[in-house]
Amino acid sequence: MVSMLENVIKTYRRGIELNNYPKDFEELILKPQRILHVNIPIKTSKGLKVFEAYRVQHNNFLGPYKGGIRYYENVTLEDDIALAMIMTLKNSLNNLPYGGAKGAIKVNPKELSIEELEKLSREYIRAISIIIGKEIDIPAPDLGTNSQIMAWMIDELSKIEGFNSFATITSKPLELFGNPIREYATGYGVAFISKLIGEKILDGIENKRVSIQGFGNVGKWSAYWLEKFGAKVVAISDSSGTIYNENGLDIEEVEKIKMKTNKLTEYKDGKKIEDPNYSLYVDCDILIPAAIENVITLNNFNKIKAKIIVEAANNPTQYEAEKELLNKDVYIVPDILANSGGVIASYLEWIQNLNWYFWDEEKNKKELEKIMKNSFEKVFNKFEKENLRSLRDAAISLSLERLYKVAKIRGYI
């Protein structure tokens, strides 16, 4: 099994090769600038537990580090480095004034009581407070974390700093000056990008068949907005299995069932398939992997029937599997473009927090669309004009171009 870090390094190397950058740049950009590795002791109802945790700051040539915090029991330091490296590319591509970072705690949050979760979150932010700040490194949620956890963290950080440091953490609750679009921003961005690629490749998104793997924050909101844009969501899966209806699923109903039973497969109006990966193989126009990394591999790529893959999860496609899919003329919209709605909403929240001046939901949505459309057009035009192998090649090449120029001007190479 290829690790996420190996995959990401291959992607960077591919971009460096495409742009003909010197070895010095490779040496510089493949190494994280700083890693903080901590062990956090928490007294739980089952006795003392020590949680391993990290904050990886990969690169800050373009501005303060920015990236989420993941609570996941299988996370490794290697994964955290890979995710921070993805953030550097994503922020650069979208022209945001940010570098890349990522944090993680090796924990299954569902195994903790609410009090233990709060204690762990406060201790984690305390431990990394020595390297974060509103102009230094700005965390946000990721897998397994949410706006309540951000609220505890900003409260703890405010006590340490001695003032309300709202701009240091994004994706907070609205009451703490969060962004009104943040809850659905990543999914909205995924749907918006699917619409843009649909207009280029499929003659529009109206009535096009979509299959989604994952029904968490990203999968759920992608489904919701795609349905609003006129697409037909024919399949969705979560860890309990897949549901399928060739005439389209009723997303509001699916959401109700999931809320009530916590199991997607309790949905009545369609077929149920036990395999959570079945959603990847459904006959559809657009496939959206929105669950976890490394789900499209050399072992299963030939079962995929979609013409377009929009990567809502981070790193869902293995590098070698992508090569095979490209040979079958599949278009893959890379994660650094497709799921950037979350970090863009975070950026909008941050600038409003810094200025203590706030926009309404519509204005935030319009600003997000403006940034995403601009990135999409840049990537698609480069892909077409230079006859590149893939949209990913165009995206990483553009990202690295900005990083390389700044590394040169700042005197690193």
Which residues are part of the catalytic machinery? Answer: 102
Judged by beta carbon, residue 30 or residue 292, the one nearer ligand NAD is: 292
Judged by beta carbon, residue 202 or residue 276, the one nearer ligand NAD is: 276
Judged by beta carbon, residue 120 or residue 280, the one nearer ligand NAD is: 280
Judged by beta carbon, residue 62 or residue 290, the one nearer ligand NAD is: 290
Judged by beta carbon, residue 131 or residue 292, the one nearer ligand NAD is: 292
Listed in sequence order, the residues at least 6 apart from 156 whose beta carbon sits closer than 8 Å to its beta carbon are 121, 122, 125, 126
209 vs 155: CA distance, rounded Å:
44
Distance of closest approach, residue 228 Cβ to ligand NAD, in angstroms: 18
Judged by beta carbon, residue 7 or residue 314, the one nearer ligand NAD is: 314
> Measured at CB, which residue is nearest to ligand NAD?
216
Distance of closest approach, residue 115 Cβ to ligand NAD, in angstroms: 22
Instruction: Kindly list the distances between the CA atom of residue 55 and the CA atoms of 72, 130, 196, 313, in Å, as whole numbers in the listed order.
Output: 14, 11, 35, 20
Judged by beta carbon, residue 82 or residue 308, the one nearer ligand NAD is: 82
Query: Site residues (CB under 6 A) for ligand NAD?
Result: 142-143, 186, 213-219, 237-239, 276-277, 290-293, 312-314, 339, 342
DSSP bridge pairs for 49: 42
Judged by beta carbon, residue 207 or residue 261, the one nearer ligand NAD is: 261
Distance of closest approach, residue 50 Cβ to ligand NAD, in angstroms: 24
Distance of closest approach, residue 364 Cβ to ligand NAD, in angstroms: 15
Distance of closest approach, residue 216 Cβ to ligand NAD, in angstroms: 2
Distance of closest approach, residue 252 Cβ to ligand NAD, in angstroms: 17
Phi, psi (deg, nearest 5) at residue 209: -85, 130
Task: Give, to the nearest 10 degrees, the angle between helix 77-93 and helix 391-409.
Answer: 90
Distance of closest approach, residue 329 Cβ to ligand NAD, in angstroms: 26
For 23, half-sphere exposure in the C-beta direction (CA atoms, 13 angstrom radius) is 0
Q: What dihedral angle (degrees, nearest 10) is formed by the CA atoms of 55, 84, 34, 17?
A: 170
**CA angle 118–124–125, rounded 5-degree value:** 95
Distance between the two ends of the chain, CA-based, in angstroms? 35
Distance of closest approach, residue 165 Cβ to ligand NAD, in angstroms: 22
Tokens of 295: 């789900």
